Amino acid sequence: MTAHPVVVRDDPGLLEPPKRERCASNRPAIFGGAPLFAETMPILRPALPPTRRLLRRCREVLESGHLTNGKLVQKLEATAARYLGVPECVAVSSCTAGLMLVERCLGLEGQVIVPSFTFFATAHSLLWNGLEPVLVDCDPRSWNLDLERVRCALGPGVSAILAVHVYGNPAASRELERLAKWAGVRLIFDAAHAFGARRDGQSVGGAGDAEIFSLSPTKLLVAGEGGLIATRDPELAEALRAARNYGDAGDYDCRLLGLNARMTEFHAALALAGLPLVERHVSRRNRLARIYEDYLANEPGVTVQKIRPQDRAARKDFSIVIDAARFGISRDFLHSALEQENIQVRRYFDPPLHRQRLYRRYYRPGLDPLEVTERISRGVLSLPLFPQMSEDDTARIAGRILEIRDWAALEPEGNIPRCR
Ligand SMILES: *Cc1c(COP(=O)(O)O)cnc(C)c1O
- CA of 212 from ligand 1 middle (Å) equals 9
Using most ligand atoms within 8 A of CB, pick from 145, 216, 316 the residue to mutate for ligand 1.
216
**Closest ligand 1 atom to 122 CA:** 11
Q: Mapping DSSP to helix (H, G, I), strand (E, B) and coil, where does residue 178 land?
A: helix
Q: Which residues of 391-409 are buried (b: 16+ CB within 10 A; e: fewer)?
A: eebbebbbebbbbbbbbbb
Using most ligand atoms within 8 A of CB, pick from 100, 122, 267, 319 the residue to mutate for ligand 1.
122
- CA of 119 from ligand 1 middle (Å) equals 7
Cα 347 to Cα 190: distance, rounded to the nearest angstrom: 20
- CA of 214 from ligand 1 middle (Å) equals 6
Is the distance from CB of 308 to CB of 319 less than 8 angstroms?
no
Cα 274 to Cα 220: distance, rounded to the nearest angstrom: 9
Q: Is the CB–ligand 1 distance for residue 227 below 6 Å?
A: yes
Query: pLDDT 10s per residue in the chain (420 long)?
Result: 334 433 333 444 444 444 556 666 789 999 999 999 999 999 999 988 889 889 999 999 999 999 999 999 999 999 999 999 999 999 999 999 999 999 999 999 999 999 999 999 999 999 999 999 999 999 999 999 999 999 999 999 999 999 999 999 999 999 999 999 999 999 999 999 999 999 999 999 999 999 999 999 999 999 999 999 999 999 999 999 999 999 999 999 999 999 999 999 999 999 999 999 999 999 999 999 999 999 999 999 999 999 999 999 999 999 999 999 999 999 999 999 999 999 999 999 999 999 999 999 999 999 999 999 999 999 999 999 999 999 999 999 999 999 999 999 988 766 666 554
Pick from 173, 282, 263: nearest CA to 221: 282
The H or E element spanning position 236 is: helix 234-243
- CA of 314 from ligand 1 middle (Å) equals 15
Q: Is the CB–ligand 1 distance for residue 192 below 6 Å?
A: yes
- CA of 28 from ligand 1 middle (Å) equals 35
- CA of 97 from ligand 1 middle (Å) equals 10
Is the distance from CB of 335 to CB of 348 less than 8 angstroms?
no
Using most ligand atoms within 8 A of CB, pick from 90, 93, 94, 95 the residue to mutate for ligand 1.
95
**Closest ligand 1 atom to 227 CA:** 7
- The verdict on pTM exceeding 0.75 is yes
